[in-house]
Each structure stands twice: as C-alpha cells, then as structure tokens.
Chains A and B, each alone.
Chain A
Amino acid sequence: MDKFRMIFQFLQSNQESFMTGICGIMALASAQLYSAFDFNCPCLPHYNLAYGLGILLVPPFILFLLGFVLNNNVSMLAEEWRRPQGQRGKDPAVLRYMFCSMAQRAMIAPAVWVSVTLLDGKCITCAFCTSVPVETLGNISHASLSKGEIKRILARIPCKEIYDGQELMTNEVAVRYLRCISQALGWCFVLLMTMLAFLVRSLRPCFTQAAFLKSRYWSHYIDIERKLFDETCTEHARSFAKVCIQQFFEGMSTDLVATRCHLTRKASVDAGEATEKLLGITDRGTMNTALKSWHRCKPPLHLHPPALLSGNGWAGEGQPPAHPPTPRRETAAYYSGV
C-alpha cells in the first residue's frame, strides 16, 4: 500500500510524468487482460473466422470506449461544447485540443491489445487456418477429399488434440506458418503505431506552436475554473449552512451561545495579492497577445535588473525601458569564467 502511494505521488509530481504513468498503467492492464483471457477456438469451419476476428477487434473497441468513460475530462469537454454562448465566445480550437488529447490517451489500451494479440498468434491461427495453402505446404494429392472435407479438417488445426489431418498437412507446419504471418503483422502494426505517434508529436512544433500554446492554456483554464467554481460553491454552501443553522438555533432558544468562527478575511487580501500576481494581464486579448509574442518574438537573453522584461510588448507594463539594449553578441555577454 505504501509502495502504491509513493508511486502515485511520484506520478503526480508533474503533469508530464502523470500522463506517462497513466499510459503505462493502461498498457500493462491491457496486456494483463489478454493473458488472463482463456482463448478457446471453436475449430469449426464457419465459426473460426468470426471468433478469431471478434476477439481481435471487439475488445479494443470496448477498451477505447472505456478510455473515454473513465476520463474525467469528458464531462468538461461536453459542458464546454454544449454551453450557450452568453458573454464568452467559444473557441473550436480549444475543443479540438481537448478531444484530441483524450482520444490519444484512449487509443493506447486498444493498440496494446491488438499488438499483443497479433504477436501471440492464436487469433490469426484460429481465424485463418482454413485458408492455409495446402498445395505448397501439404500433400493435396494424398487423398481425394472434397473441398468441404478439407476445410473441416483444416479448421481443426488450432485444436491439436482432435486434429486428424496429419497426412494432409502437418499441424506444426501450419501453425508455424500462420504464427509467422501473425507476428509479422503484429510487428508491422507496432511500427506503424509508433511512427504515427512520432509524427504527431514531432510535426506539431513545426506548424502550429502558437495556436497550440493558446489552446493548451485555455483548456487548462477551463478545467481550473470549473474546479475553483466548485470549491467556491462549496465554501458558499458551507457558509450558507452555517448561517442557516445559527439562525435556526437563535430562533429556537436563547440559551445557545453561537460559536463564533473567526474566519480570516482572506478574500480581500487574496484579491489584492492576486491582482498583483496577474502581472497586469487582465483580459483574453492581452493574454493571447502575450502568448503569441512569446512564440513569435522571444525576449533577448539580456536581463536588465531595474526594468525586468522590458521591451517585449506586454500590456500593462507602464515603465519605459531604463536604457535601450545595446547590441552585443550573446556568446560574449555570457562567457563564463571557465
């Protein structure tokens, strides 16, 4: 229990490692689910394909939907999507960002299931055992059997105990052949998924970095705002309840001395501190401008002590720069004493 708690604490220490941890846990859970599952091929000509492909494709779909259901942010996305416009415009880029990040996380468990299934080989062996090329791998001319008979015999390949076609085609040859194809498909699938993930991660900074910073900020904002609103409402409800109960007791009897709760007047002090910490940015347009100019025009590596962050276009910064930055080579300015 202690170990789990520590692992959770480690994973929650920062956002990135939390997400990586969640992805790893889902991948492990999916692999564990597959190994716990008892695969039972029916070994009948028409049922094999349905069973094999069903086990390959239906559980990943369920896991994908489960990934969405278990994600707390789905309700946040739905709320933001369906709310009326009111005084605050809606940004479709933010909705797209939230949906994409949720979909990416929900795709991991299904992808792991499909990879593990293909690499194990049982599903493909079960589904395609009737399509094995008997001409090349076995002795088709050995007995004059009808197509249906051959299919019936081949369908029993996954079930070694009842297989009766050793003269037609040896069980080991067929199983090796099918498993080789299944593993090749599995590794190709793994490679495809990793390449896709790599492209998605690496192409983003090349094209849409400024828009990405904006969407990420506002989607975090929506999440935090919702949580803070819930907290404020809870606080309100608590005070409401307190006042309500006090009034009730005062009304009922005059002997009860209402306990005085000396709540600190944090709200106004916090508001004052909060205004300071907002660094003069108080509306959406200014924040967007700040984020855009953070990407388009990073400040020079040249900190003037009296006028911090001068000259990079932030609104609300009322002071003129102390002196214009002298043009100097950056490497010379920061030459260390080594």
Chain B
Amino acid sequence: MDRFKMIFQYFQSNSESVMNGICGLLALASVKMYTTFEFSCPCLHQYNMAYGLGIMFIPAFALFLCGLILNRQSLVMLEEWKRPLGHRKKDLAIIRYMCSSIIQRAMVAPVVWIIVALLDGKCLICAFSSSVDPEKFVGFDNISTLQVQQLLAKVPCKDDELMRNNTSRKAVSRYLRCWSQALGWSILLILIIAAFLARWLRPCFNQTTLLQARHWSNYIDIEQKIFEETCCEHSRLFAHKCILHFFKSMRQEIQLHSFNLPKEGEGAEEEEDLLHGITDQDQVNKLLKMWYYEKPPLDVS
C-alpha cells in the first residue's frame, strides 16, 4: 500500500512525470490489447495483405492519436501557438521543443504495438504468404498458378482442412515468421541506438537553447495550471459573497415588511447572524422561491 502511494506521489510530483506515467500506461495497454485481440486471417488471396497490414498499422495510428489526446501538454502547446501576440512575444523554439517532446511520447505506444506484432509474426505471415516464391518450397511446384495462389493464401490458417498437416505450410510459415522477427528485432535495435545517440550527442548541440526552451515550456505549463486554480478559488469566493449579499437583501426586505424581529439578547447573536434574519417557515419558503425565480445579479461591489 505504501509502495502504491509512493508510486502515485512520484508520478504526480511534476507534470513531466505524469506524462511519462501516461505514456507507460498506454504502452502496457497496447500490449494487453494485442494479446486480447483475436487475430483471424481471412486466408483469401484478395484480402490477406489488406488485413495483415491493416492490423499492423491502423491500431498503431489510433494509439498515436490517443497519445496526443491524453497528453495535456499538447493543448498547452496549441494555445501558446495560436494565442494573439499581446504584450508577450512568442518564442518558436519553445513551441518546437514542446512539439517534439509531445510527439516522442506519443510515438511510444504505436512503436510497441508494431514491434510486438512483428515479433509475434502473425500479421506478416497473413500479409505476405501469397507473395512468397513457390519454387523455394517443396509441394508447391507442380501445381497451376491459380491453385498455388490459393494454397499459399491459406498458409496462415492452421486449422483449414487442406492445410492441417501440410509440411510445406509449416515451411512457409516458419520462413515468414523468421523474416518478421528479424525485422522486429532490427527495428528495435535501430530505435534504441537512435535514442542512445540522441541523448549522448545532445549536449554537443545548442545546450543553452535547449535549457531555456525546457524552462519556459515548464513555466507555461505551470502558469496555465495556476491560472485554472486561481479561477476556481476566485469563483468560490465570488459565489460566497453573492450568496451573502442575497441573504442580506432578503433580510432587508423582511425588515421593511415586518416589525417583530425576535430580540434574543446577547447570547443568541451568533445564531441570529447565521440565520440572516430569516426566522420562520414562510420566510424560508419565500427565500427559496426568490432564489429560483430571481437569481441575484453577478455584481458584488
């Protein structure tokens, strides 16, 4: 329990950690979604490639958009980009910095999806089983082209009656899975090397601009949050004053119309204050009716 609390507190400590947390959660959700999803290749020549490549790229794009939507900083960046100039100049370096950090974080979940799909192999087997060269495999050489196409299209379906114990199917499947996994691992390696180089070589290029951009992008984020909090606090106090005014005006109206306000003496003065001079059922009903039919104007001066 303490551990959870610490993890939550750590992630909420600053907005960058919150965004990293959301990015990690989205990557985990992407893996979970892939394992829950029932991949079912149509095993028809015309549809295989569309299905296979569609499953690899469409969810990745949807996850990318989700990453952009869930990131609060994208709104902040858009507001900063679109605001009128006013008294404060706009610094394009800050906007570029925010944009690049948002896109980097949003790319994590789609990349995880694509790599998991490649390492699993089903997508590529489904998409490219018809494009394999049949002469490389025993069992596909003495048949007409059309039949070869149909047979190859059925390779991803293990349970199909034609393909159930076919050794050439297993050979094609293994071949394609090997390519798929090689591609997956290569992409992973390239990305990790690129990230490593980017981190390592960054201090050589424009470190001071980077520090300034990072500072001011943090500032804009914090300023936005504090403005929202101040607005909330302000509206609470505004509402409080408005309601007190309303009660006071009701009391004045009642004082005008009635002459027998109960004089309780010193001790009950505090209660009377809280009662605002409204001391019987009819007066309370009238107050509630007034509150509904004629809300007070938004003016507490």
A53 at the interface (CB under 8 A from B): no
Q: Are B270 and A220 in contact (CB under 8 A)?
A: no
Known: A267-B244, A300-B88. Contact between A209 and B299, CB under 8 A? Answer: no
B17 at the interface (CB under 8 A from A): no
- Per CB-CB distance, the 8 closest pairs between chain A and chain B, nearest first, are A86-B294, A297-B86, A282-B301, A180-B42, A225-B239, A284-B298, A283-B299, A239-B274
Q: Are B237 and A263 in contact (CB under 8 A)?
A: no
Known: A83-B295, A177-B42, A205-B79. Contact between A194 and B4, CB under 8 A? Answer: no
Report 9 cross-chain contacts, Cβ distance below 8 Å, ordered by A residue: A172-B159, A173-B160, A194-B62, A198-B65, A220-B231, A228-B236, A267-B273, A278-B300, A338-B211
Q: Are B42 and A205 in contact (CB under 8 A)?
A: no
Q: In the complex, what's the smallest C-beta–C-beta distance from B226 to chain A, in angstroms? A: 12
Q: Are A221 and B239 in contact (CB under 8 A)?
A: yes
Q: In the complex, what's the smallest C-beta–C-beta distance from B65 to chain A, in angstroms? A: 4
Q: In the complex, what's the smallest C-beta–C-beta distance from A302 to chain B, in angstroms? A: 9
Contact residues, B164-204 vs A (CB, 8 A)? none
Q: In the complex, what's the smallest C-beta–C-beta distance from A171 to chain B, in angstroms? A: 10
Q: Are B86 and A296 in contact (CB under 8 A)?
A: yes
B131 at the interface (CB under 8 A from A): no
Number of interface residues of B (CB under 8 A): 91
A81 at the interface (CB under 8 A from B): no
List chain B residues, Cβ under 8 A from A173: 43, 160
Which A-chain residue is minimally distant from B296 (CB atoms)? Answer: A87
The dominant DSSP class at the A interface is helix
List chain A residues, Cβ under 8 A from B276: 236
Surface stretch bound by A, among B70-78, B114-122, B139-147: B70-78
Q: Are B241 and A278 in contact (CB under 8 A)?
A: yes
Q: Interface extent on A, as a size class?
A: 35 or more
What does the 1/0 interface line of A183-198 toward B look like (CB < 8 Å)? 1100110110011011
Q: Given B41, B88, B243, which contacts A180 in the complex, CB threshold below 8 Å?
A: B41
Q: Are B40 and A183 in contact (CB under 8 A)?
A: yes
Q: In the complex, what's the smallest C-beta–C-beta distance from B150 to chain A, in angstroms? A: 11
Contact residues, A258-317 vs B (CB, 8 A)? 258, 260-263, 265, 267-268, 270-271, 274-275, 277-279, 281-284, 287, 294-301, 312
* Alpha-carbon distance between A338 and B160 when the two chains are bound, in angstroms: 68
Q: Are B279 and A88 in contact (CB under 8 A)?
A: no
A156 at the interface (CB under 8 A from B): no
List chain A residues, Cβ under 8 A from B235: 217, 220-221, 224-225
Q: In the complex, what's the smallest C-beta–C-beta distance from A311 to chain B, in angstroms? A: 8
Q: Are B82 and A205 in contact (CB under 8 A)?
A: yes
A70 at the interface (CB under 8 A from B): no
B20 at the interface (CB under 8 A from A): no
Q: Are B82 and A206 in contact (CB under 8 A)?
A: yes
